[in-house]
Chain A
Amino acid sequence: MRLRETILIFSALCAMLAVNLPQLAFAVNPDEVLQDVTLEKRARDLSSIIRCMKCQNQSIDDSDADLAKDLRVLVRDRLTKGDTDQEVLDYLVDRYGEFVLLKPSFSVANSLLWLAPLLTLLFGVFFAWRVMSTRQPATTSSTAIAALSKSERDTLSKILDDQE
């Protein structure tokens, strides 16, 4: 049970860092806001992951372009009609293509993108493990490539000693 709790808290923390950061900026106009608080919250969360296609790397929540406003109204429209979040996104992707999603879908085409962090991490851990488990006499380092002369070595150790 302890472990499960830990994992839960950990993933919650990840989620916090991950989910809350983008909700920093809003261009929502007062006339767009829905009366229903939970629905409006959903609309805001959705808006932060939908791209304003005319803008450079802005969500429709951030942008004050006309297109962004139209999309915000559209999202709220769909939500009031009873769409789930996923249905709203699907509807937008149907109309505008994948480009509209700031967070690419988990599809085969995007598998490299989503797996990149994990693969790099695994590779890094493997690499580090190799480095740490290699057993080699320390002296090979200096002999393999142009060996240091005795006086050079003395100088070096003096420099290193001074550091301590």
Chain B
Amino acid sequence: MAGRGNQVIAETGHYALVLALMLSIIQGVFPVIGAKSGDLRLMAVGQSTAIGTFLLIALSFAALTHAYMTSDFSLQNVFENSHSAKPMLYKITGVWGNHEGSMLLWILILSFFGALVSLFGNTLPPDLRSNVLGVQAWITIAFLLFILLTSNPFVRLDPAPFEGSDLNPILQDIGLAIHPPMLYLGYVGFSVTFSFAVAAMISGRIDAAWAKWVRPWALGAWICLTAGISMGSYWAYYELGWGGWWFWDPVENASFIPWLAGTALLHSALVMEKRDALKIWTILLAIITFSMSLLGTFLVRSGVLTSVHSFANDPERGVFILMILLIFIGGSLTLFALRASSLKAGGLFRPVSREGALVFNNVFLATAAATVLVGTLYPLVVEAVSGAKISVGAPFFNATFGPLMIPLLIMVPFGPLLSWKRAEFLPALHNLFWVAGAALLAVIIVLAFSSDQPVLASLGIGLAVWCMLGAFAEIASRAGFLKAGLSIGFARLGGIPRTMWGTAFGHFGLGVLLMGVVCASAFQKETVAELAVGETLSVSGYLVRFDGMVPVTGPNFTESVAKLNVTSEKGDSFTLLPAKRFYPARRMPTTEAAIETIGFSQLYIALGDAADDGKTVIRAWWKPNITLIWFGTIFMVLGGLLSLSYRRLRVGVAKTAKSQQKSREGSQHASA
């Protein structure tokens, strides 16, 4: 079936991958030697090879994508994960819906970032840039070897089968189409901060200007990771069909740990950039954050999560990634241990200061990251050591992670109000009186108007209001709304730097997210009933009538759709169509929930089992303000983008620094 042309394309992709390996070996050796010996020509090798590696890997990725689009089942990978009857969109997303393809995507993004450093790193000192590109190349080499030796997507089948065995139906979803690439952009984005950290330790230059270069990368990676996790959460919420939005699943934790560490990195890099302090810690966080990304990749990709035994039975891939982990984490930490002593802490500050608040933030975020890490790995370690099987699930994480977040959330509005070096609490508190008043008001209102669980929920909502409004306290005090009045205050808003807006939006998003979490968990209503045609159930004022089942045939599945007529108290009515799907190629049933968004809240309906007599179980949830969870993350991403856009404008400053450096070098040459 597959023509000669197809074969040529697939083999070209394979060949390009091997060439990319060769090129990245060059990139990993010569620029680093050049940086050591000060040879500018050797250093320049890094730039062209980085771009070349990216182009070759992109070619390889395009070849694999082509194989998926044309259903070239002579590739084992396509045969195992695709099907000719699949919609084109899911054929394409199928490229990274499997182990081999997703690793290829991982490395495509890695080399893309390398190319970006190469193209836009003109303002970096040449030796730093060369070392960064060198370290990037080492990571690329490791993962290219991993793909080529253990997870090659270009392995051929002869004779080629006539039909593929389909993609996991749960994964056939638009959410999944964009979720892993976003996540990988985040994961791999932190490789750049890692490379910067290692490069700085190699060349021995770590100063505030270094932090200035690193922060946009950390911020960019953080934005992508935040968006990726958020999408993953919403995907799980509507696709898995039982309405949870975060499960503390090891796969989720694998992305959440780097996020927590990355958030800490973002904050400590700020201190390093502005105050030349916390250097050791920032370097360490840069190492830890990417190490956690690698660990996440290991956890998800080695199969160790499903069972330690299955990992031990088929250890090739797992052991390979474990080796990569050991080399990079161990190597960077060793380098860190050697260099850390020469990196004395810079600027001094009092415990009560902006720096102090950011240290507080870092301590709690790092503890939270460690908690999630230990909880995720503990069952694996216990099983490996004693053979006993234990579970560490959501109840553990809620009992440990939840309390850790409370002091952090209380402190969030204070941080930006404290001045650098030394500050006092009282003036900061003065700027927060109106916020505290509003939060208290929220608590009282909730207490007065709700019947069930009022105390706990109201405190949670008060904390959310505290975060949301407190996020803008710094801007409000800068604009002087309280002192100068509204009109002057608004006039001053324009002069407030965009990074400050970025911080405000980010922290506001955190409050919004908390609001969603508290409302959706404390005030959720649920009804489960077995309904015959024409019968109704009611949930939180909505009357749901079951109008019967309709069979539907989709492109590669069959489904039975329940027709539900929903009427609100006001008399509005709409139709919801939850379904049970069946994918014959994998003999796998799925549940498709029906969701109606009303304001920020959602009516979530999923089908249970159908009885023989035509009755069916219907589960209906009223999830008040649940969308705020994801709106919160949107605000966080927006805050990050605001901050990033401001930084982009500042590239010129760094350029000035370089041109000055050049002129300095010029004058030195002249004097010599």
Contacts and interface: CB of A to CB of B under 8 A. Distances in A.
Interface of A: 9-10, 12-31, 33, 48-49, 51, 56-59, 62, 64, 97-104, 109-110, 112-114, 116-117, 120-121, 124-125, 127-128, 131-132, 134-136, 138, 140-142, 144-146, 148-149, 151-152, 155-156, 158-160, 162-163
Interface in B606-623: 608-609, 617, 619
Nearest to B460: A16
A98 B363 contact: no
Given A17-B406, A30-B617, A120-B367, A144 B274 contact: no
A144 B402 contact: no
Given A99-B390, A132-B359, A159-B657, A22 B347 contact: no
Given A18-B399, A57-B393, A99-B390, A145 B343 contact: yes
Given A10-B406, A128-B359, A145-B343, A151 B391 contact: no
Contacts of A64: 242, 608-609
Given A124-B367, A128-B359, A159-B657, 19 more contacts: A16-B456, A16-B460, A17-B398, A19-B398, A26-B619, A30-B529, A97-B388, A98-B391, A101-B390, A109-B382, A113-B378, A121-B367, A124-B363, A128-B363, A131-B278, A142-B346, A145-B205, A145-B339, A148-B207
B529 A104 contact: no
B586 interface: no
Given A144-B343, A146-B204, A121 B363 contact: yes
B456 A13 contact: yes
Which are the 7 A-B pairs with shortest beta-carbon distances? A102-B393, A16-B456, A103-B395, A17-B402, A124-B363, A141-B346, A25-B242
Interface string B538-569: 00000000000000000000000000000000
Contacts of A132: 349-351, 356, 359
A32 to B, nearest CB: 9
A10 B402 CA distance: 12
A48 B455 CA distance: 22
A156 B229 CA distance: 36
Given A17-B460, A132-B356, A156-B208, A99 B389 contact: yes
Contact of A103 (B306, B396, B522): B396
A160 B359 CA distance: 21
Contacts of B149: none
A89 to B, nearest CB: 12
Contacts of B437: none
Given A17-B460, A120-B367, A29 B617 contact: yes
B366 interface: yes
A141 to B, nearest CB: 4
A109 B388 CA distance: 10
B52 to A, nearest CB: 32
Interface in B154-213: 203-209, 212
Contacts, number: 237
Contacts of A26: 242, 526, 528, 619
B403 interface: yes
B250 interface: yes
Contacts of A20: 453, 456, 521-522
B39 interface: no
A97 B459 contact: no
A114 B517 CA distance: 24
A160 B657 CA distance: 11
Given A62-B242, A141-B346, A29 B660 contact: no
Interface of B: 203-209, 212, 242-250, 273-274, 276, 278-279, 281, 306, 339, 342-351, 356, 359-360, 362-364, 366-367, 370-371, 374-375, 378, 382, 386, 388-396, 398-400, 402-406, 453, 455-457, 459-460, 463, 517-518, 520-522, 524, 526, 528-530, 608-609, 617, 619, 650, 653-654, 656-657, 660-661, 664
Nearest to A107: B390
B528 A28 contact: yes
B343 A29 contact: no
B342 A144 contact: yes
Nearest to A26: B526
Contacts of A57: 247-250, 391, 393
Contacts of A163: 273-274
B545 to A, nearest CB: 17
27 contacts: A13-B463, A17-B403, A17-B406, A19-B398, A20-B456, A21-B398, A21-B517, A23-B524, A26-B619, A31-B530, A57-B250, A57-B393, A103-B399, A128-B360, A128-B362, A131-B359, A132-B356, A136-B344, A138-B346, A138-B347, A140-B344, A145-B206, A145-B339, A145-B343, A151-B660, A155-B657, A156-B209
A30 B609 CA distance: 11
A21 B374 CA distance: 20
A142 to B, nearest CB: 7
Which of B209, B248, B250, B391 has the largest number of chain A CB atoms within 10 A? B391
Contacts of A116: 370-371, 374-375
A103 to B, nearest CB: 4
B3 to A, nearest CB: 41
Contacts of A15: 456
Given A23-B521, A131-B345, A132-B350, A29 B609 contact: yes
A100 B391 CA distance: 7
B65 to A, nearest CB: 30
Contacts of A56: 249, 306
B213 to A, nearest CB: 11
Contact of A22 (B339, B367, B394): B394
Nearest to B363: A124
A159 B209 contact: yes
A29 B608 contact: yes
Contacts of B403: 14, 17-18
A136 B348 contact: yes
A67 to B, nearest CB: 14
Contacts of B208: 156, 159-160
Nearest to A124: B363
Contacts of A10: 406
Given A62-B242, A159-B212, A141 B459 contact: no
Given A17-B403, A138-B347, A30 B460 contact: no
Which of B345, B395, B402, B521 has the largest number of chain A CB atoms within 10 A? B395
Nearest to B366: A124
B345 A136 contact: yes
A26 B375 CA distance: 24
B248 to A, nearest CB: 8
Contacts of A138: 276, 346-348
A145 B342 contact: yes
Contact of A155 (B349, B382, B455, B660): B660
Which of A14, A17, A98, A155 has the largest number of chain B CB atoms within 10 A? A17
Contact of A16 (B248, B274, B522, B528): B522
Contacts of B518: 16
Nearest to A160: B208
A127 B398 CA distance: 26
Given A26-B526, A131-B359, A159-B209, A117 B400 contact: yes
A114 B457 CA distance: 26
